[in-house]
C-alpha cells in the first residue's frame, strides 16, 4: 500500500511562497556586473529588512539571457545575513568590501555576466534541493519545489530580454546598469533599500555600495501644501524619487489650467509670502515660464545630477494663470527636498 503524502510538494511550495513573500524576508538589493576593464569586483547584495537571517535553503541563480539557461548557482546553506541586514556575495579575492560569502564557484573575474542576464533568488521549502538541481535549467523550468523569492533582469545598454522577464519579473522593468552611461562605476541598486519582492521599479544605476545602504543620505520629497484652487480645483505637484546622485527623479504637475501661462518657482529657501491671494513658499532663485499643454499636465523626469551641491534644501511651486482663481492665478502645492 502506498501512503499518500499529507501535503503535496506543490501545496507545500505554495504555502511557503506565501510565507516568504508575506514576510518579505529576503530580497536582492544590488547587483554589480560590469566594471572597468576585466570585471574583478562583481557582487550580489541581498537584503533582509528584519536584520539577521539564516540563509539555509536559499539559492542565488544566475541566468544567461542568450540561452535563458542557468550558468551559476550559489547554495547559501549554512550562511546567514548579519544584523545590519546586508549580505554580500563576491569573489574570494576580496576585491569587494564587506564580502560575507565567497562561494567556491564565484570566479575571480567575469563571474556575473554583463547582460542582458538575470539574478534570481529561490527558496527551497522541501529542504531537499541541491545547487546541482539548478544546473543547466531553463529559466522557465526551475527544479520542482523551488520557490522564486525575488529576481532582477538587467543589462548594460542592451534590449529587453523577453524570456527572462516573462519567467522572472513579468510586467516589471529590465534595469540598465549603464542607464546613466556609468555602467562600469555604477551598479543596479534598489533605492530605498529592499522594497517589494519581484518589483524592480525602484532600481536605479547608482554608485556601488556593497554591504551598506544603496542610498544613505538620500532624501525624498515633502509636500508643503499651500495650493490655491483654480476653476478645476487645486493644481497638484508631486515629486517622486529619492534625491541622490544619479537617482531618477520626477516632478509632475497635474490638474492645472490647460494652455495657460505658468511659472515654476524654484528656491533654495522658503519665504512663505502672500501671493495672488494665496501663499508662495519658495523664495524664488529661479523662475521658469512655460505654457501648459491643453491637458494641464506637465511631467518632468530627470536624473538628479551627481554634481549637485550637498545638503542644500530646494523648494518648488507652480503658479498658473487661471480665470477661476481669486486673483486669476492658481497655485500648486509646494514641495521641498534636500540634496544629499
Q: Please name which of 128, 340, 146, 110 lies closest in space to residue 247, comparing C-alpha atoms.
A: 340
Nearest approach in angstroms of CB 51 to Ca ion is: 15
- Closer residue to Ca ion (CB): 53 or 298: 53
Residue 114 DSSP label? -
Among 64, 99, 214, 333, binds Ca ion (CB under 5 A): 214
Rounded-to-integer distance, Cα 72 and Cα 106, Å? 8
String of b and e for 264-302 (b: at least 16 CB within 10 Å)?
bbbbeebeeeebbebbbbbebeeeeeeebeeebebeeee
The least distance separating Ca ion from the CB of residue 118, rounded to whole angstroms, comes to 9
Q: Which of residues 93-132 bind Ca ion (CB under 5 A)?
A: 112, 114
d(CA 209, CA 95): 13
By CB under 5 A, the residues from 173 to 202 that bind Ca ion are: 187
Q: Which of 26, 33, 96, 298 binds Ca ion (CB under 5 A)?
A: 33
Neighbour-count burial of 7, counting CB atoms closer than 10 A to its CB (0-12 exposed, 13-18 middle, 19+ buried):
exposed
Residue 246 in contact with Ca ion, rule: CB under 5 A: no
CB environment 217-248: b (16+ within 10 A), e (fewer): ebbebeebebbbbbeeebbbbebebbbbbbbb
Q: Cβ of residue 218: shortest distance to Ca ion, in angstroms?
A: 12
| Minimum CB–partner distance for residue 149 and Ca ion (Å) | 18
User: What residue spans of the chain are helical by DSSP H?
Assistant: 9-23, 131-134, 162-168
Is residue 209 within the footprint of Ca ion (CB under 5 A)?
yes
- Site pattern 56..95 for Ca ion (x: CB under 5 A): ---------x--x---------------------------
Instruction: Pick the closer one to Ca ion by CB: 65 or 239.
Output: 65
Rule CB under 5 A: is residue 255 a binding residue for Ca ion?
A: no
How many residues touch Ca ion under the rule CB under 5 A: the total is: 15
List interacting residues with Ca ion (CB under 5 A).
30, 32-34, 39, 45, 65, 68, 112, 114, 161, 163, 187, 209, 214
Amino acid at each position: 500500500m502506498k501512503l499518500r503524502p499529507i501535503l503535496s510538494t506543490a501545496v507545500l511550495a505554495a504555502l511557503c511562497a506565501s510565507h516568504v513573500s508575506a514576510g518579505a524576508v529576503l530580497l536582492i538589493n544590488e547587483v554589480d556586473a560590469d566594471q572597468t576593464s576585466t570585471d574583478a569586483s562583481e557582487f550580489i547584495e541581498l537584503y533582509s529588512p528584519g536584520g539577521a537571517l539564516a540563509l539555509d535553503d536559499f539559492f542565488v541563480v544566475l541566468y544567461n539571457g542568450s540561452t535563458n539557461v542557468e550558468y551559476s548557482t550559489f547554495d547559501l546553506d549554512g550562511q546567514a545575513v548579519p544584523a545590519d541586514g546586508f549580505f554580500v556575495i563576491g569573489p574570494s579575492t576580496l576585491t569587494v568590501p564587506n564580502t560575507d560569502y565567497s562561494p567556491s564557484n564565484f570566479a575571480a573575474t567575469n563571474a556575473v555576466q554583463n547582460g542582458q542576464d538575470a539574478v534570481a533568488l529561490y527558496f527551497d521549502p522541501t529542504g531537499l534541493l541541491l545547487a546541482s538541481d539548478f544546473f543547466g535549467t531553463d529559466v522557465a523550468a526551475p527544479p520542482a519545489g523551488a520557490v522564486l523569492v525575488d529576481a532582477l533582469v538587467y543589462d548594460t545598454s542592451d534590449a529587453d530580454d523577453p524570456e527572462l522577464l516573462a519567467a522572472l519579473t513579468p510586467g516589471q522593468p529590465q534595469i540598465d546598469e549603464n542607464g546613466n552611461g556609468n555602467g562600469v562605476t555604477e551598479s543596479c541598486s534598489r533605492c530605498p533599500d529592499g522594497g517589494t519582492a519581484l518589483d524592480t521599479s525602484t532600481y536605479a544605476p547608482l554608485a556601488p555600495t556593497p554591504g551598506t545602504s544603496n542610498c544613505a543620505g538620500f532624501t525624498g520629497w515633502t509636500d508643503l501644501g499651500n495650493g490655491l484652487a483654480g476653476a478645476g480645483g487645486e493644481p497638484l505637484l508631486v515629486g517622486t524619487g529619492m534625491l541622490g546622485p544619479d537617482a531618477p527623479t520626477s516632478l509632475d504637475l497635474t490638474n492645472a489650467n490647460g494652455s495657460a501661462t505658468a511659472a515654476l518657482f524654484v528656491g533654495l529657501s522658503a519665504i512663505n509670502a502672500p501671493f495672488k491671494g494665496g501663499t508662495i513658499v519658495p523664495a524664488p532663485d529661479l523662475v521658469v515660464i512655460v505654457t501648459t499643454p491643453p491637458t494641464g499636465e506637465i511631467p518632468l523626469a530627470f536624473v538628479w545630477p551627481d554634481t549637485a551641491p550637498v545638503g542644500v534644501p530646494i523648494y518648488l511651486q507652480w503658479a498658473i494663470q487661471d480665470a477661476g482663481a481669486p486673483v486669476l492665478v492658481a497655485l500648486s502645492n509646494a514641495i521641498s527636498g534636500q540634496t544629499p
